[in-house]
A = this chain, B = another copy of it.
Amino acid sequence: MDNDDLRRGKPTNHVIYGEDVAILAGDSLLSTSFEHVARETKGVPAEKIVDVIARLGRSVGAEGLAGGQVMDLECEARPGTTLDDLKWIHIHKTGTLLQIAVAAGAILGGATPAEVEACEKFSFNIGLAFQVADDILDCTASSEDLGKTAGKDEAVDKTTYVKLLGLEQSKQYARDLVDEAKACLAPFGERALPLLAIADYIIERGN
């Protein structure tokens, strides 16, 4: 559960509007995202739109983001979180959402099933890399650069990649994940350049 008081240097929704309105804003945006895909996707066979919506729904539900977030809360509350637990959380919390973000584009763009799968493997790996990079940034960047409270993980003794692997090995792990992600897109040649740039950005970003 994200309960930081700052995001991108600004007070968060629940701080300004209260928890009740923040929860309703979340429900509203979530529903509107499905409406948007259904209403605004043009020039694509309706079967593909239905496929994307089914995958989008799964990626947010108990087998995706919400499930990962619940496990995250469980692990925060008890000691002994392992590297496998951490990966499970991030695969579900972040990996599945990036996976559908990339797969949706591929499906609606007319990719073959094998191409969709390659895109999913790519996004799965950058999803994990994103979380490792987040943990690294939390202990190396300032609150000003980060736009949210820095050093929060260590202060609350949160289990992170940095805590389990150390800083240098975490950086190496993030690089390996990005390399693996980029390798998945090799069959696309130059057409994959924007996605390759996003993969690099994930571990090079300063916030």
Contacts and interface: CB of A to CB of B under 8 A. Distances in A.
Interface of A: 1, 19-21, 23-39, 45-47, 49-51, 53-54, 56-62, 64-67, 69-70, 73
A179 to B, nearest CB: 32
A32 B20 contact: no
B34 A57 contact: yes
30 contacts: A19-B19, A20-B73, A21-B73, A23-B26, A24-B70, A25-B66, A27-B27, A27-B60, A27-B66, A28-B61, A28-B67, A30-B30, A31-B34, A31-B56, A31-B57, A31-B58, A31-B61, A31-B66, A32-B61, A32-B62, A34-B34, A34-B57, A37-B53, A38-B50, A39-B57, A45-B46, A46-B46, A46-B47, A50-B50, A53-B53
Contacts of A58: 31-32, 35
A29 B64 CA distance: 12
Quickly give the copy total for this chain. 2
Nearest to A60: B31
A39 B36 CA distance: 18
Contact of A20 (B1, B29, B50): B1
A191 to B, nearest CB: 28
The A interface, classified by DSSP as helix, strand, loop or mixed, is helix
Contacts of A64: 31
Contacts of A31: 30, 34, 56-61, 64, 66
Nearest to A54: B38
A34 B31 CA distance: 9
A54 B66 contact: no
Contact of A69 (B24, B46, B65): B24
Contacts of A35: 53-54, 56-58, 61
A32 B59 CA distance: 9
List the 9 closest pairs (A to B, CB-CB), nearest first: A35-B57, A46-B46, A31-B60, A28-B66, A38-B54, A1-B20, A38-B53, A34-B57, A39-B54
